[in-house]
Chains A and B, each alone.
Chain A
Amino acid sequence: MGSTSEFSRRDLIKRAAALGLVAVPAMSALSACASGGDDDDAKPDKPAGGGGGAGEMKPLKVNASAPLDVVIFDGGFGQQYAKDAEAEYKKAYPQAEIKHTGTQDIAPQIQPRFNGGTPPDLIDNSGAKQMDLGTLVGLKQLTDLNALLDAPSLDDPKKKVRDTLRPGVVEMGQFDGDEVWVFYYAYTVYGVWYSKTNLEKLDAQYPETWDEMLKLCEKAKKKGIAGWTYAGQHPYYIPFSLYPFIAKIGGTEVLDRIDNLEPDAWKHPAVKAAFEAYYELYKKGYILRGTAGLDHIQSQTAWNEGKALFIPNGSWVENESKKMTPKDFRMAVGAPSSLDKSDKMPFGTLWASGGEPFIVPKNAKNAQGGMELLRIMLGKKSTQNFIKAVSSLTSLNGGTEGLTLPPGLASSQEALTKAGRNVVNPRLQDWYVSLQKEKIGKAALGLMMDGRLTPDEAIKKIQKYTDDTRKDDSVKKYKHK
C-alpha cells in the first residue's frame, strides 16, 4: 500500500528521462533564451573554449569569459564547500570572474535583485529567510534545469547528471509540469536522533516499538534524564519524526492527502494515533522540563549534554552541534518506532529528501555558468569535499566510497539502506511555509506537546488552518501527482 507512490515516483523518472530526450532541442532553445533574457547588455553566447584544458567537455556551452555571480546561504553548512567548487570552476574557465556572496538574509538581499531584473546566476535559497519557491515558479522567474540534468556528468561522461542522483531528488524540484525549477543539493535524513553511548548507559537499544519507547523513557526518568526534547521555539521540528510516524501507521497516502490540503485529511485515524502517542510523552512527564522555551540550538545543546535521550531533527544537526557534541557521543538517527502490529509500513520507514534548494534565475546573465557550477558541485571531488566538511549526504547517489564517515552521517546512510523503498517525503514545508511553520508548528503542535492542547483540539485547529489555506486564493496550490 505504502509503496504505490514510490512506484509512481520511479515511473516519473523514466517518463522525465524520455521526455528529456525528446526535448533536447527545445531545451537548448529555452536555455539560450534564459541567458539572453530581456537584458540588452548580455553578451552573445560564445561557444565554449577559451581557458581550461583542451578536450575538456563543456556540454552546457558556457561562455568562458562571462562573470559568475553566486549567492550561498551561510547556515548549518557554511559556504566553504561552494567556494571550493567555485575554485574548480575557475580552473576550468580561468577568464571567468566569480563573485561569491555568503548570507543568511537570502530574501531581503536577493528579492530586490529579482524585482530589478538583475538576479545572481546561482542561489542557494535556504534558511529561515528563503524566498518562496512556489511564488518564484508561478511568476516564471526560474530557469528550467533539465538542461543540466541531461548534460553528461562530470566523472562519467557516459552518464547523464540525472542518472547519478538519488531517487526523488529531481521530482522534488518539479512543480506542475516536467520542468525542474529547483535542484536540492544536500540530502537530508530526518528522524529521531539519539546518542548510542547515552542509550548504552541505560542498557538500552533504540526502541523499535512505541511500548519500548515508553519503557525506556520511564527508565530514563527514574535516573533524572528526560526522554525527549525538541526545539520548543521552533516546534515545526516535531514533524521530522511525527510525519513519517503518521505515514508508518496509516500509509503514505495519509501524508499525500495532507500535502494536497484535502478536507478532513488531518482527521484520519493514523494522525490521531500518532498525536496521541506523542501527547503521552508529555502526559507521562518524559519531555525535558522547559523544552517549550528552548530554541533549536538550546534544545540541541541540552540533548548533547545528555539531559534528554531523543530529539526530532534532520541530518544537519551533526554539523550544526559539532562544537557541543562530546567525543564519545556516537550520534545516530532512528526511524519512528512502530505503534503496533497494524502499522501499514514496516519499521525503518523514514523521511528523507533533498535539502538546500539551488535555483538559477531566469533573468540571470550567466545561467549556463550557474548550471555548470552545479554540475561541478555534483562531481565526485566536490561531493566528497561537502560530505567531509559538513557531514551531510548530497543528492549524488553514493559519493561516500572511501570516506570515513562521522557517526551521525554513517548512521543516516545505514538508516537509508534499511528504509529501502520506504522513504516518505512530505512536501508541506516546501509548498506551504507559513502553514507548516507558524500554524501547524507554533500554533498547534508546540502547544500540544506543552500540554496546552489535547490531540483532538490540535487536530481540529490544524484542520481549520488547512481549510483556510485551501480557500486562500493568494496562496498558490500544489498537488502530488
Chain B
Amino acid sequence: MQHGKYRFIAGFLVVPLAIYGVFVVSPFVQAIYYSFTNWTGLSSKFKMTGLKNYQRLWDDELFWKALGHNLLLLLVLPLVTLGLGLFFAFMLNVGGRRRKNAAVAGVRGSGFYKIVYFFPQVLSIAIVALLFKFAYNPNSGAINSFLDAIGLGSLHPDWLGDPDLALWCVTAVMVWSNVGFYVVLFSAGMSAIPKDFYEAALLDGANRVQTFFRITLPLLWDTVQTGWVYMGIMALDGFAVVQIMMDGPGPDYSTEVLTYYLYTKAFTDGQAGYATALGVALLIVTMVFAGIVMKLGRRERLEY
C-alpha cells in the first residue's frame, strides 16, 4: 500500500514540479551562468569571463551605494510599516474604550478605518507613485500647498529634487502603500486571539500598552515574522516606485537601488552579463536576510 501511496503522490507532483523547474529554477541557473560572461543582451554571442564581473562589482562604488540604500530600506521599511500596521490593527480591534458585553473592542468607526487603510492596496503601485509624484511637486503639489496653508511656506522643500530627502520621500510612499495590507492581516490575526485572555488581563489591571506587549504581540508573532520577510523583499526591490517617481537614480544617485541599477546596466548600458552578476548579488542578500529573520525570530509556538 505504501508504495502505491507514494506513486499516487508523485503522480500529482510531477507536473507542478516540472513547471516549477522550467519556469522558476532554470532561469535562476541561467542567470548565474550568464553572470560569468560578458553578454550584452543585444546579441546571442558572448564569451566566458570567469569572475571578472564579480571583481568589477566589488570595486564598483555605485553598487555599494545602491546596496547601502537597500539595506537602509531593509531596516526602516519593515520597522515603520509593521509598527504602524500593528498599532492601527490594535487600535481597530482592541484599543477602544470598553463597552458593555464586550471585553475588548476597537475605536469607534473602526470598520470604516479598515476600508480606508486598505484602500491604497487596491491601487496599482504605478498609480500610487504617479499620484505622489504630483503631491511632491514643490510648486503646485499637495504637500507644499499644505505647508503654505499652515504657515510653513518658508520651508519649501524640493522633495524629490533634494538629495537628502529623495530617498525618504520614496520610503514614505512605500510605507503608505503597504501599511493597509498589514492592518488587515494583523486584524485577522488578532481576532483569532481568544477574548478571555484580554478579559483576564484587564481584570488583573493591565492597561492597553501592557495588553499589547504581553498578549497581542506574542500571540501574533508568526504573522509579524511573515510580514517582516515580505516587507524585507519589498525593501530589496523598490524598483517601480523609484522608476516612476524619480525616473532614474535621483539627484546625486540618492535613490539608486540595486534593482534600478541592474535595469540600467541591462537595458541602457547593454551590459547584461554584469547586470546578472548584480542580480546574483541581490539574490544572495535576499537569502541572507530571510535566513537571519527566520533564525532570529524563532520562538516557541503558543497554542490556544
Residues of A within 8 A of B (CB): 107-108, 111, 114-117, 128-132, 134-136, 139, 141, 232-235, 288-295, 298, 302, 307, 433-434, 437-438, 442-443, 446-447, 450, 452, 474-475
- Contact A234-B247, Cβ < 8 Å, known A107-B267, A291-B161: yes
User: Contacting A139 at CB < 8 Å: which of B45, B56, B249, B274?
Assistant: B45
CA distance A439 to B44 in the complex (A): 30
Which residues on B sit within 8 Å (CB–CB) of A307? 139
A129 and B249 contact, CB distance less than 8 A? no
CA distance A130 to B42 in the complex (A): 12
Which bucket holds chain B's interface residue count? 35 or more
Task: Kindly state whether residue B83 has any CB partner on chain A within 8 Å.
Answer: no
B161 and A474 contact, CB distance less than 8 A? no
Which residues on A sit within 8 Å (CB–CB) of B44? 115-117
A292 and B161 contact, CB distance less than 8 A? yes
Task: Kindly state whether residue B268 has any CB partner on chain A within 8 Å.
Answer: yes
A-B contact pairs, 10 of them (CB 8 A): A232-B158, A289-B139, A291-B158, A292-B138, A292-B158, A298-B140, A443-B252, A443-B253, A446-B161, A447-B251
Mostly helix, strand, loop or mixed at chain B's interface? loop
Task: Kindly state whether residue B199 has any CB partner on chain A within 8 Å.
Answer: no
Q: Using an 8 Å CB-CB cutoff, how does the interface string of B24-42 with A read, 1 for contact, 0 for none?
A: 0000000000000000111
Which residues on B sit within 8 Å (CB–CB) of A446? 161, 251-252
User: Contacting A433 at CB < 8 Å: which of B43, B253, B268, B271?
Assistant: B268
Q: Using an 8 Å CB-CB cutoff, how does the interface string of B264-284 with A read, 1 for contact, 0 for none?
A: 100111110010000000000
Residues of B within 8 A of A (CB): 40-45, 56, 133, 136-140, 144, 156-163, 246-253, 264, 267-271, 274
| Most chain A beta-carbon neighbours within 10 Å: one of B161, B163, B271 | B161
- Contact A290-B156, Cβ < 8 Å, known A233-B161, A233-B246, A433-B268: yes
Which residues on B sit within 8 Å (CB–CB) of A294? 137-139, 161
Which residues on B sit within 8 Å (CB–CB) of A136? 42, 270
B247 and A290 contact, CB distance less than 8 A? no
| Most chain B beta-carbon neighbours within 10 Å: one of A290, A446, A447, A450 | A290
CA distance A134 to B250 in the complex (A): 25
In angstroms, how far is the closest chain B Cβ from the Cβ of A227? 16
CA distance A152 to B258 in the complex (A): 50
In angstroms, how far is the closest chain A Cβ from the Cβ of B51? 15
In angstroms, how far is the closest chain A Cβ from the Cβ of B273? 9
Which residues on B sit within 8 Å (CB–CB) of A128? 247
CA distance A113 to B301 in the complex (A): 52
